[in-house]
Amino acid sequence: MAARITKFLVEQNCRVIVVACNTASAAALYFLRQQFPAITFIGMEPAVKPAARATRSGKIAILATRGTLEGELFHHTRDEFARHVQALTVYPTDWVERVERGDIDSPETYASVRRVIEPLLDAGVDEI
């Protein structure tokens, strides 16, 4: 799918393409850069680098979709920039559905956020 969309954009004379989804970046960015070397791709890459630099406790947490956490881009970024810290990864299973439903300000959503965040803070994570 990403290659088809990119081919269409290239046919429209696009020279820079933003892959504005972290999961799509994780799944396709490396492939797209290999297949379309003349095009500049800007990906929404995980914020691992600034979190690893900023931590004082040496513990960071990365909250992302399963697709992002399983992707080669995430693993490469984590391995390159967060080798010196403990990087906990969390896939909050219901967050995507809540956001897509527009359920961002309900007591249930706040409870879901607390269930994910509190254990991370208790573990000493200081960058999320």
Distance CA 119, CA 97 (A): 22
> Within 13 Å, how many C-alpha atoms sit on residue 78's CB side?
20
Distance CA 113, CA 110 (A): 5
- pLDDT of 104 higher than 80: yes
Range among 36-45, 59-68, 70-79, 113-122 rated most confident: 113-122
Are residues 115 and 54 located together in one domain of the fold? yes
The values of phi and psi at residue 3, to 5°, are: -65, -40
Least confident piece of the model among 32-41, 63-72, 77-86: 63-72
Are residues 115 and 53 located together in one domain of the fold? yes
- The verdict on residue 113 lying in a domain is yes
pTM: 0.71
Are residues 108 and 59 located together in one domain of the fold? yes
Q: Considering Cα of 105, then 106, then 112, then 114, what sign does the dihedral take? A: positive
The pair of three-digit structure tokens given for residue 86, joined into one six-digit string:
């403990």
Q: What is the domain range of residue 100?
A: 48-122
Confidence label for 22 from pLDDT (cuts 50, 70 and 90): confident
pLDDT at 44: 64
